[in-house]
Amino acid sequence: MRAEWVRLDGGPADANALARAGEVIRQGGLVAFPTETVYGLGAHALDADAVAKIFDAKGRPAGDPVIVHLASADAVMAVAGSLPESARILTSTFWPGPLTVILDRGAAVPLRVTAGGHTVGVRVPAHPVALALLRAAGVPIAAPSANRFSRPSPTTADDVAEDLGDRVDMILDAGATMHGVESTVVDCTSAIPMVLRPGAITIEGLRLVLPHIEMRTSAVRDASAVLAAPGTLLKHYAPRAEVRLWTGGASLRSAVRHDLEQQVAAGRRVGALLVDDDRELTTGLAVECVSLGSLAHLDEAAARLFAALRALDRLHVDVIVVRDLGRAGLGLTIWDRLYRAAEGRVLESN
């Protein structure tokens, strides 16, 4: 059965749609909804059976925890056992917004949410539809990205329908998301707060308020492992096509051009995922090219990333050639997503 698809336009009919969506959540159903990062697949966070439906719909491994979304920071102690000073500083600065803090799990949170662990990821989203849904439901909402597991995250309702259209009860469509990449995840349960997943808030931004924060990202190969944070498996955000991810120094662009030539010569259907600055690398080649925008505007590149990977999949390319855009600011987040899309296979230019 296909999901009820509701397009929200800010008009009076939205309130009725959101009220129905809130009821679906309270009754243990699944609602896909927009956040400022990507579209989420929501269920009643305090209902273990409802949360289990998320895992079934996505094909998500049981060891991959899901984030709990709240309508306001005032509700955090309903799902957390404590609020350390580092978390208080971060949440007072970045909530509502694309920041997830990992805290000690509150007793009300089912172990299904936390993959059996003793911590829980929590955030207050900034998207008006997400907040309105949370208020309409009146309960915390557990929500990973609304896509089949390991696929590129959805940034439009069309992406959700492509992956999960017959697996959810309702899709709330409010257009494309703003950031296009997931929230930054920070573990606040130890003395030194640790970034476990780079996201829409950069490490540089976090250090403005917590100078001692550190980074500890991981790439877990075993999909059956219990993860400390979502988005840390080695294979994640992956299109159907092979991703050839290039990094290096002065010869990087030449290496990308040569690889494009070689892939075309081998008879493969080739996709190029490039910034505008690199468009000449495809000159004279029979490749499908999708741009991430300007290298000077990495926020734009991040916002386009998952949509671009999906676009190239829809063009049925065999291989996607892409290069490192740097590791500063959002470049690190983009690198993290591409690294996992490539399953950790990185090509080095001379």
For 305, the domain range is: 242-348
H-helix or E-strand containing 339?
Answer: helix 330-341
Work out the pLDDT band at 222, boundaries 50, 70, 90: low
For the chain, the distance separating the N- and C-terminal CA atoms, rounded to the nearest angstrom, is 53
| Residue 135 tokens, joined | 């208020």
Supply φ then ψ for residue 254, to 5 degrees. Answer: -65, -40
Q: Rounded to 10 degrees, what is the CA torsion of 58, 196, 193, 79?
A: 0
Whether 17 is covered by a domain: the verdict is yes
DSSP 246-304: EE-STTHHHHHHHHHHHHHHTT--EEEEE-GGGGGGGTT---EEEE---TT-HHHHHHH
Whether pLDDT at 219 is above 90 = no
- Quick check: is 20 in a domain? yes
306-338: pLDDT as tens digits: 999 999 999 999 999 999 999 999 999 999 999
Q: Return the percentage of the chain with pLDDT > 90, whole number.
A: 91
- State the pLDDT at residue 62: 92
Tokens of 133: 């849904």
Domain stops at, among 215, 250, 282:
215
**Domain-located, residue 103:** yes
139: exposed, middle or buried (Cβ count in 10 Å: 0-12, 13-18, 19+): buried
Q: Residue 218 — pLDDT band, cuts 50, 70, 90?
A: confident
Same domain? 322 vs 181: no
* pLDDT at position 60: 94
DSSP character string of 170-216: EEEE--S-SS-SPPEEEE-SSSS-EEEE--SS-HHHHHTT-TT-EE-
DSSP state, 27? Answer: T
Q: Where among 199, 215, 231 does a domain terminate?
A: 215
Which one, of 325, 336, 143, 323, lies nearest residue 238 by Cα? Answer: 336
One domain, residues 128 and 55: yes
* β-bridge pairing 68-69 and 119-123: parallel
Tell me the pLDDT of the chain averaged across its residues: 95
Return the percent helix, strand and coil in the chain, to nearest 5.
Answer: 35, 20, 45
pLDDT class of 65 with cuts at 50, 70, 90: very high
Q: Cα(42)–Cα(40) distance, rounded to whole angstroms? A: 6
125, part of any domain: yes
Give the CB-side neighbour count of residue 228, counting CA atoms within 13 A: 17
Q: Is 223's pLDDT higher than 80?
A: no
72 and 168, same domain (yes or no): yes
pLDDT of residue 225: 67
Residues 326, 287, single domain; the answer is yes
Q: Is residue 99 part of a domain?
A: yes
Q: Looking at residue 10, what is its pLDDT?
A: 84
Question: How many domains are contained in the chain?
Answer: 2
b/e map 161-187, b = 16+ CB within 10 Å: bbbbbebbbbbbbbebbbbbbbbbbbb
User: Taking the C-alpha atoms of 227, 62, 59 and 19 in order, what is their torsion angle to the nearest 10 degrees?
Assistant: -100
pLDDT tens figures, 163-216? 999 999 999 999 999 999 999 999 999 999 999 999 999 999 999 999 999 998
On whether both 59 and 205 belong to a single domain, the answer is: yes
Give per-residue pLDDT as tens, 242-292. Answer: 999 999 988 999 999 999 999 999 999 999 999 999 999 999 999 999 999
pLDDT at position 18 is 97
The secondary element (H helix, E strand) that includes residue 148 is none
Q: What is the pTM of this model?
A: 0.95
Q: In whole angstroms, what is the distance from residue 38 CA to residue 48 CA?
A: 24
| Model pLDDT for residues 142-170, shown as the tens digit of each residue | 999 999 999 999 999 999 999 999 999 99
Residues 275 and 337 in one domain: yes
Average pLDDT over residues 111-115: 96
Please report whether residue 223 resides in a domain.
no
Contact 129, 172 (CB under 8 A): yes
Residues 183 and 246 in one domain: no
Is residue 10 one of the residues assigned to a domain? yes
Residues 270 and 171 in one domain: no
Residue 233 lies in a domain: no
CATH number, domain with residue 325: 3.40.50.11030
- Say if residue 257 is in the same domain as residue 193: no
Q: How far apart are CA 101 and CA 119, in angstroms?
A: 10
